[in-house]
Structure 1
Amino acid sequence: MTITTRPASTPLNIDGVVVSPDHYINGERVAAEQTFALYSPIDQRLLGQVACGSSEQVDMAITAAAAAFPHWSALSAEERQRYLNRFADEIGKRADDFCVLESNDAGVLLSRMRHGVVPRAMQNIRYFAEHALQLQNRTLETPQALHRIRHDPAGVVAIITPWNAPLMLTTWKLGPALAAGNTVVVKPPEWAPLTCSLLADAADAAGLPAGVLNIVQGEGASTGNHLISDPRLARISFTGSVPTARHIAQVAGGNLVPCSLELGGKSPFIVLDDADLDNAAATAALMYRNAGQVCLAGTRLLVDEKVVDTFVGLLRGYVEKLQVGDPRDESTEVGPIIHPRQIERVQGFVDRAREQGAQILWGGAAHHAGAQYFQPTLVTGVEQHAEIVQSEVFGPVLTLQTFSAVEEAITLANDSDYGLGGICYGATERATAVAEHIHTGFIWVNSFGIRDLAAPFGGCKRSGIGREGGEWSFEFFCDIKDVVVPRQPFRASFSHR
C-alpha cells in the first residue's frame, strides 16, 4: 500500500509541550490541505491549526488498518499484551505532557489529569490487555459436545470520542479493541484533539505495527461522516450526543455495522430524609467539577421536603468554597466551558428557565474568571416537564425538586428520556432498595464515581446502546464463535423422524 505524505506541518508548542497537528496514518504523520483552528477554553487564545481529514485521508486510514489486520489479529493475546504494556509505559513517560495538552485544549483540571485521568488511561490499556488472556480456552460442556468458545477479532474498528474526556475515553475504547486483535481508526473531538495526537507518538514509540492505530482529525460533519459511511468497518464505538448517535446508527445500519453508543445523561441525585446530609451535600457539590461537563453527574437533585432546607444550606456552604478559574492552577475546582457555543447553550437553558418562573438560588450567569467560565448554578421552582429538568445542559447547572414520599422520588427519577446513572443517599438498606427501582445503567448508593474496569458501564433509554467494561467490551469488539466438537462419532442421517 502506498500513502502519499504531504510535508509535515510545523509542530504546535502548547505551554512548552510539542505536539503534531497532523494525522497519524500507517505509522506516519500525514498533513492535510485543509485545517481547522483550535482555541483554548482557558483564555480563547489560538493554539494552532489542526489537520482536517478529507475523504481521501479517511480512506487511507481504513485501508492501512485493513492491511494491518491480518498480522495483528494473528498474534497471540500474550504477544499483543507485550505491545500494549509498552504502549501504557509510553503514556506514562509522557504523563506531564498529556496533562498540559488536555488542560489547554479541553479545559480539564490539571490536578484531575495528573491524579486521575493519566493513571486511568494507562490502566485502561493494561487492564484490557490482561483481560484478553482470560478469554482463551473457554469451553462449555454438554452431554452431546464440547463447545470451544472463541472471541475472534472483528476487523477494522472506528472509535469516535467526545471533547469532555478525550484521553480517558479514547484509551477506554482502544484498550479492548486492540487487545481483542482489531485494528483501529480514531476520530478525536475537533474541540480537543491534542491528547489523541500525543497518543500516536506513544504508540509509535511502543513499536505498535504500522496501521494498527490510525488517528484522523477533523469535524464530525465531514471527517466523521466519511468514516462511519465506509462499509469496510466492522464496528463503530461512539461516545457523544443523542442527535449524532442517531445519525451514526442510521448510516451504520445501511452497512449492518454494529454500534456501541454511550450517550448523554440527566441523572437523578436522590436524598432521603435519613441520609447523612453533610456527606450528600459535599457529593452534590462535586457535580460542578469539570464545569459540569460530565455525563455521569447527578444534575437533578431530588430531596425529601423534610430535610431540603438543611441540605440546601449545607450545599451552599460547599459551593461557596469552590474555586473557579484556570484549570492549570492546582487549587482550581471548576474550570472553563469547552467552547463559546457551549457556554451560550448553558446560558440559554438558565435564561429560559428563569423566564418560565424558575428561581435561581445561586449562580445563573458568566463568572468573572473569563469569557468561557460559568458560575455554579442551582435552579429550583421547576416543573417536572420543564426543559431544564428534561434536557441535558452539560454545564455547571443543577436543578432542585422535592418529594414527600419515596414512591414520588422514584417516579420523578424515572420520568426522563435518559437513563445513564444515578445517586441515592440514605440509610444503606433503604437507599439500596430505592436504587434498585431506578431505570438506569448504574447507580451509586451513598457514593459517587466508584468505578471498576471489570464492571459494566452504559445507559438505558436515550443514554445509549450496549455496555462497556470487562467482558462486555470484548463481547462488542469480538465476533463470538462456537466451535462444536461432538463427544461421540457423528454420522449424518437423512431419515425424517
Structure 2
Amino acid sequence: MSNTIAIDGIEVSTDHFINGERVPSAERFEDRSPIDGHLIGHIAAGLPEHCDAAIEAARAAFPAWAALGPEKRREHLHRFAAELKAWGDKLARVECEDNGMLFARLKGHQIERCAHNIAFFADEAMKLVDHTIEGRNAKHRLQFDPAGVCVLITPWNSPMMLTTWKLGPALAAGNTVIVKPPEWAPLTCSMLADVAAAAGLPPGVINVVQGIGATTGATLVADPRIARVSFTGSVPTAKSIAQSTGRNLVPASFELGGKSAFVVLDDADLDLAASTAALQYRNAGQVCLAGTRLLVDGRVADDFVARMKKVVASLNVGDPRQPSTEIGPIIHPRQFDKVAGFVDRARESGATILWGGAKHEAGDLYYQPTLVTDVGESDEVVQNEIFGPVLVLQTFDGDAEAVRLANSTRFGLAGVVFGSEQRAVDVARQVRTGMVWVNSFFLRDLEAPFGGVGDSGIGREGGQWSFEFFCDIKDVMLPQKPYAPVFAGR
C-alpha cells in the first residue's frame, strides 16, 4: 500500500511525522472527500508506540528549542510563515478536497490567516521579554518559561487554520508540540509538518500523530510526560480529556463550540442584519462561532424573515472547488445524518420549516440552508449545537426578553446583536458569552481574547492570553529598598 496519495497532482504523505521523518503504521483508517464521497486514501493510525516516539522526540528537541529564546525562535517562525504562503495553493487544494471548505475562501483568506497566526505570535512573544511590575515592596521581573511538550488537538471544520492558531503561540513560547489531526480531515495538518521542515525548523519541534480520537488522542492526553493539552472540539470529548489531564494535573484549554444568539432589535438595519444572518450558513454551518439562534423582535420579525429569505434564495450550494459556490458539503455521512435528524425531529414535533429542511440536489452530503421556527425554548433544536446549515428563529418582546433568551442555553461562545449602537451594546453586555459582535460578524484580531463560558469551554486564546496558557510564569522579586530580615516581636 502506497504511503503517499496524489490530490490535483500534489503528493501528500499519509504517514505520521515524528522527529523530522515520515513514520508508517500497520494500522490505517479511511479518509473520504465530502465533495463526492470518493476515497482519498488510507491514513496511518497512531498506535501507542507512535505516541511514545512522538513524545520522546518532542522531549529531546525541547531543551534546545526553549534555549533559543524568543528572538531566535521568531526568525524560525517567520520563515515558517513565509513557507506557508509559498505552499498556499497546494494547501488550499488539499484542504478543499479533504474538508470541503470553499477553495476560493481557502486561497483568499485562510492561507493568509494561517501564515499570520504563526508570524503574529512570533512577534507577540517578544513582549514577554523584560516584563516587569514596579510594586510597593518589590520589583517583579516576570519570566515566561516554556511549559514543555504540548499536545494540540484540532477539529475537522477548519483543521489547517485552527492548527496554526495553536502552533503559533505554543512554538513562539518555546514549547515543542505533537499535533493530533482530526480523523475526518487530517491531511493539511500533516502537511504543515512538511512546511515547517522546509522552513528549517529542527526535527522534533513539530510532530504529527494521526489517528482516531478515542484511541490515539486518548493515549496522548493521558501521558504524564505531556505539559499542556489544547483541544478544540466537542463537549463529551473535552470531559474525557479533562479526566485524563486532571489525573496528571496537566493544564488543558478547551474551545467547544456553541449555540450563539443572533439578536435583532426593532431599530436594527434590517437589510444588514438579514444579509449577515445568511452568513451563518457559511462553511455549511460548520462554524463554532455562528449565530445559529436568530432572536428577532416580534415587531420586525416578518420583515426581517422576508429580507433574509431573498438573500438565502440567491446562495449557490455546490462543489466547493467552483468559484461560484457559496455553500459546500457537510464533512461526513455521520454529521449529515446528525444534522438531518435534528430537522426531521423538529418537524415531527410541530416546528415549522420556513425554508430548506432536506438534502440538496448537489449531492449526498449537501444540505439545504434551513430555517426552523415555532419551537419551544427547551426543544433540542434550540438547546443543542447542530453544526450544519440549520438556524432556529425565535421572537421576543423587549430587550429584557431578548437577553433572557440569549442566555437560555448551557453554551456561551459568541453572540451577535444588531440595533442602534448604544442599545445594542447595552444588550451585548448582558449576554453571557465570551465575545459579542455589535452590528457586525466574524471580525477578529489576534491580540484579542478568544474563548467561551459554560459548555463552550475553559480558557482564552489570543494575544497574551495564549502565552499565559503555554508558559509557566515565574516571578523573580527584588526588594525596592534595603532589606533586612525581621522576626516578629524584635
TM-score by length of 2: 0.99
The letter of the residue matching 1:266 is K
Q: How does 1:116-265 map to 2 (within 5 A)?
A: 116-265=109-258
Deviation at 1:496, TM superposition (A): 5.2
Deviation at 1:17, TM superposition (A): 1.4
Which whole-Å CA distance do the structure 1 matches of 2:429 and 2:457 have between them?
19
In structure 2, the residue corresponding to 1:191 is in which secondary structure?
Answer: coil
> Counterpart of 1:288?
281
Give the CA RMSD over aligned residues.
Answer: 1.0
Q: How does 1:43-58 map to 2 (within 5 A)?
A: 43-58=36-51
> Counterpart of 1:399?
392
Deviations 1:412-461, CA, capped at 9 Å, x for gaps: 00001000000000111111111010000000000000000000000011
Which whole-Å CA distance do the structure 2 matches of 1:294 and 1:112 have between them?
14
In structure 1, the residue corresponding to 2:227 is in which secondary structure?
Answer: strand
Instruction: Tell me if the contact between 1:72 and 1:212 (Cα under 8 Å) persists in the aligned partners.
Output: yes
Deviation at 1:115, TM superposition (A): 1.1
Which whole-Å CA distance do the structure 1 matches of 2:478 and 2:296 have between them?
58
Q: 1:344 to 1:481 in 2, by over 3 A?
A: same
Deviation at 1:489, TM superposition (A): 4.1
Runs of 5+ unmatched residues, structure 1: 1-7
In structure 2, the residue corresponding to 1:159 is in which secondary structure?
Answer: strand
In structure 1, the residue corresponding to 2:430 is in which secondary structure?
Answer: coil
Instruction: Tell me if the contact between 2:12 and 2:191 (Cα under 8 Å) persists in the aligned partners.
Output: yes
Q: Does 1:469 align with 2:445?
A: no
Q: How does 1:326-475 map to 2 (within 5 A)?
A: 326-475=319-468
Deviation at 1:142, TM superposition (A): 2.0
The letter of the residue matching 1:325 is G
In structure 1, the residue corresponding to 2:375 is in which secondary structure?
Answer: coil
In structure 2, the residue corresponding to 1:344 is in which secondary structure?
Answer: helix
Which whole-Å CA distance do the structure 2 matches of 1:263 and 1:322 have between them?
28
Q: How does 1:71-86 map to 2 (within 5 A)?
A: 71-86=64-79
Select 1:115's aligned residue among 108, 119, 142.
108
In structure 1, the residue corresponding to 2:200 is in which secondary structure?
Answer: coil
Which whole-Å CA distance do the structure 1 matches of 2:417 and 2:486 have between them?
60
Instruction: Tell me if the contact between 2:3 and 2:15 (Cα under 8 Å) persists in the aligned partners.
Output: no
The letter of the residue matching 2:187 is L
In structure 1, the residue corresponding to 2:353 is in which secondary structure?
Answer: strand
Instruction: Tell me if the contact between 2:221 and 2:245 (Cα under 8 Å) persists in the aligned partners.
Output: yes
Deviation at 1:111, TM superposition (A): 1.1
Deviation at 1:26, TM superposition (A): 0.4
In structure 1, the residue corresponding to 2:358 is in which secondary structure?
Answer: coil
Give the count of matched residue pairs: 490
The letter of the residue matching 2:131 is R
TM-score by length of 1: 0.97
Deviation at 1:145, TM superposition (A): 1.8
Instruction: Tell me if the contact between 2:3 and 2:24 (Cα under 8 Å) persists in the aligned partners.
Output: no
Deviation at 1:10, TM superposition (A): 3.1
Which whole-Å CA distance do the structure 1 matches of 2:138 and 2:404 have between them?
49
Deviations 1:149-205, CA, capped at 9 Å, x for gaps: 111100000000000000110000000000000000000000001101110111001
Instruction: Tell me if the contact between 1:9 and 1:20 (Cα under 8 Å) persists in the aligned partners.
Output: no
Which whole-Å CA distance do the structure 1 matches of 2:230 and 2:115 have between them?
20
Provide runs of 4+ in structure 1 moved above 2 Å.
487-497
In structure 2, the residue corresponding to 1:233 is in which secondary structure?
Answer: coil
Deviation at 1:250, TM superposition (A): 0.7
Runs of 5+ unmatched residues, structure 2: none
Instruction: Tell me if the contact between 1:269 and 1:298 (Cα under 8 Å) persists in the aligned partners.
Output: yes
Q: Does 1:325 align with 2:353?
A: no
Select 2:35's aligned residue among 34, 37, 42.
42
Which whole-Å CA distance do the structure 2 matches of 1:289 and 1:334 have between them?
6
In structure 2, the residue corresponding to 1:50 is in which secondary structure?
Answer: strand
> Counterpart of 1:104?
97
The letter of the residue matching 2:184 is W
Deviation at 1:325, TM superposition (A): 0.4
Q: 1:72 to 1:274 in 2, by over 3 A?
A: same
In structure 2, the residue corresponding to 1:248 is in which secondary structure?
Answer: helix
Deviation at 1:495, TM superposition (A): 4.4
> Counterpart of 1:270?
263
Which whole-Å CA distance do the structure 2 matches of 1:404 and 1:494 have between them?
66
Deviations 1:342-393, CA, capped at 9 Å, x for gaps: 0000010001101110010111010000000000000000001100000000
Which whole-Å CA distance do the structure 1 matches of 2:388 and 2:415 have between them?
17
Deviation at 1:116, TM superposition (A): 1.2
Deviation at 1:487, TM superposition (A): 3.0
> Counterpart of 1:68?
61
Which whole-Å CA distance do the structure 2 matches of 1:489 and 1:184 have between them?
44
Which whole-Å CA distance do the structure 2 matches of 1:142 and 1:257 have between them?
31
Q: Does 1:481 align with 2:474?
A: yes
Deviation at 1:9, TM superposition (A): 4.6
> Counterpart of 1:3?
none
Deviations 1:3-25, CA, capped at 9 Å, x for gaps: xxxxx953110122111101100
